[in-house]
Amino acid sequence: MMNHSSTSACNAEDLSRLLTGTLSVTATERLEMHLTQCEDCVRRLELLAAEKNSWTQTSKYLSEDDFDCGLERAKLAELSNVGSISLHSKEHQILTREIQGWLDPTDDPYMIGRFAGYEIVGIIGHGGMGIVLKGLERSLNRYVAIKILAPRLATNASARRRFAREAQAAAAVLHENVVAIHRVDEAHGLPFLVMPYFVGESLQQRIDRSGPLTLQASLRIGVQIAHGLAAAHAQGLVHRDIKPANIMLEPGVERVQITDFGLARAVDDAALTMTGIIAGTPPFMSPEQAAGATIDVRSDIFSLGCLLFACLTGFSPYRAKTTGETLLRLRQGRRTFLKDAEPSLPAWVEDLLAGFLQTTPSNRIQSAHEVAAILQQCVLHVQSPDNQLPGNLSKRRRQTTVLIGVTTVMSIGVALLIYDKLTERSKPTLKSAQTIVADQHSTDLATGNQAASSEAVDIPEISSSIDAIDHDLKRIEIEVQSLFGE
């Protein structure tokens, strides 16, 4: 209830300006703070915005119900999110028809029906193995995601067995970076599992929305995924489909969770891995998975490498125009390098990813635990360069630093000297001088001191200055070497 001492804060004029967006930022913040406490003002604001009828009809008119067909459902799904996949209306229609048969009636007009005691709000999405519904768990008043084995698959005993095993195995993984499974059960002969419903977005959606992530954010996400994977691997579970779309980001907090162990199966389940069907998402698959060979936990490590690359650049290192080409590139180990996709990143990141993206599993980092430790050390290093990089990365890093240092000193030296000699030169001469600077910059240490050979330059003044630079470079090189004791 409104408190009389706050009367001065209750200002109808400000409320309407809040609606039209004509209040200053600070005044808006102040008023929003006031609204948090003053119910009367909230009521006034709401009546200013729209008549009471509109408020009460909103839920009735914008909720999906029994009478909505595919197209309407797709429209509402699009309106309601944000997080959920926007389905093609045709696909959605088929799904809707498919689920209608096994939903129980509900007395709540705003729900599509009931399934295993949950009020069904709508379809979130579907995958190779099943349909995901959004449900309301009345007793706990929370939304849940219900993954149901597609009815057409439920008739097949082996699919049913696989789904149940997958669900039970995934439910056994209790880890803060793995989506929890509340329940594994069967209704109407359809096996299903119940997970929390997410309001946040997937990593894929984040990348699509705001582009590549920073190095630090990518590494932090990588650490969490590695921890989650380690927990699953400890239970003998391989995820088999690690990709940005299967990583959920919680809004507001820096926590990520691995979801959809849809393709994960117990590793020792030999009978069921014999199907030969390529399961997974090609640009994020390991080569052994693409070849349909036996896979183990190291397949997930490869996929995690692809995912980290995608965080940093926006796409997988095996991205290609067609799936066939992607699979071919995977088998041949032909990937895009980080230095070509995102040259601004430090060279040690390339080396880091190389530890994930080896074609032969035994050449990769061997466990998710190890991955987590390495990535964590990298995070610390990015936070403060005083922190050492993991062993095999730091060696290369030092060489790189020397290289960058020398190249920078060289460039500055060249620029200064040329500037010195050419202060009164005309534009065309300056231009060729710039070209030399650019050439010099791209030359590495080994050839740097010979790079400025006089035949590339026919202006005598520049030739003589190059000689001077050459001399300076030799001196710099010696200094640098003595600095690092090499």
DSSP one-letter string for 349-394? HHHHHHTT--SSGGGS---HHHHHHHHHHHHHHHH-TTSPPPHHHH
Q: Which is nearer to other proteins, 122 or 262 (CB)?
A: 122
Q: How far is the CB of 34 from other proteins (least distance, A)?
A: 7
**Shortest Å, Cβ 451 to other proteins:** 52
When asked if residue 369 is in the footprint of other proteins (CB under 8 A), the reply is no
Residue 90 interacting with other proteins (CB under 8 A): no
- Pick between residue 71 and residue 174 the one whose CB is nearest to other proteins: 71
Site for other proteins contains 28 (CB under 8 A): yes
Distance separating the N- and C-terminal Cα atoms of the chain? 76
70 binds other proteins (CB under 8 A): yes
227 and 177 Cβ atoms separated by less than 8 Å:
yes
3-state secondary structure 128-141: CCEEEEEEEEHHHC
* Among 338, 367, 369, 332, CA closest to 354: 338
Burial track 80-89 (b if 16+ CB lie within 10 A, e otherwise)? eeebbbebeb
Q: Which of 51, 91, 176, 250 is catalytic?
A: 250
The residue within the footprint of other proteins, chosen from 12, 27, 62, 478 (CB under 8 A), is 62
Residue 59 in contact with other proteins, rule: CB under 8 A: yes
| Closest distance of CB 127 from other proteins, Å | 23
**Is position 255 an interface residue for other proteins (rule: CB under 8 A)?**
no
188 counts as binding other proteins under rule CB under 8 A: no
58 is a contact residue toward other proteins (CB under 8 A):
yes
> Residue 462: what residue type?
I
Does the annotation count 250 as an active-site position?
Answer: yes
Residue 276 near other proteins by CB under 8 A = no
Q: Which one-letter DSSP state was computed for residue 272?
A: H
Residue from the set 7, 27, 32, 435 that interacts with other proteins by CB under 8 A: 32
Joined together, the tokens standing for residue 318 give: 């095996």
Distance CA 12, CA 18 (A): 10
384 binds other proteins (CB under 8 A): no
Nearest to 283 by CA among 346, 207, 215: 207
Helix (H) or strand (E) holding 290: helix 287-290
CB of 205 to other proteins, least distance (A): 10
Provide the minimum distance between the beta carbon of 114 and other proteins in the complex, in angstroms, as a whole number.
16
Q: How far is the CB of 50 from other proteins (least distance, A)?
A: 4
Asked whether position 252 contacts other proteins by CB under 8 A, the answer is yes
**204 touches other proteins by CB under 8 A:** no
Q: Is residue 177 a contact partner of residue 255, using CB atoms and an 8 Å limit?
A: yes
For other proteins, the closer of residues 49 and 172 by Cβ is 49
Candidates 7, 22, 51, 158; binder of other proteins (CB under 8 A) is 51
Helix H or strand E segment including 405: helix 391-422
| Whether the Cβ atoms of residue 351 and residue 392 lie closer than 8 Å to each other | yes
Q: Under the criterion CB under 8 A, does residue 67 sit at the interface with other proteins?
A: yes
> Which of 12, 69, 172, 416 is close enough to bind other proteins by CB under 8 A?
69
Q: Are 262 and 247 in contact (CB under 8 A)?
A: no
- Which of 30, 183 has the CB closer to other proteins? 30
CA 268 to chain centre: 30
Contact residues for 485 (Cβ-Cβ < 8 A; gap 6+): none
Contact call for residue 165 and other proteins (CB under 8 A): no
Q: Which residue has the tokens 């026919």?
A: 458
In whole angstroms, the minimum distance from the beta carbon of 59 to other proteins comes to 5
Which of 12, 27, 71, 438 touches other proteins by CB under 8 A? 71
φ and ψ of 306, to 5 deg: -60, -40
Q: Minimum Å distance from CB 51 to other proteins?
A: 7
Element (H, E) at 213: none
Q: How far apart are CA 237 and CA 240, in angstroms?
A: 9
Which residue, 104 or 479, has its beta carbon nearer to other proteins?
104
From candidates 9, 103, 199, 272, binder to other proteins by CB under 8 A: 199
SS3 211: coil
- What is the contact surface with other proteins in residues (CB under 8 A)? 18-19, 21, 28, 31-37, 42, 45-46, 48-51, 53-55, 57-63, 66-72, 75-76, 78-82, 93, 96-97, 100, 121, 143, 199, 251-252
Catalytic machinery residues: 250
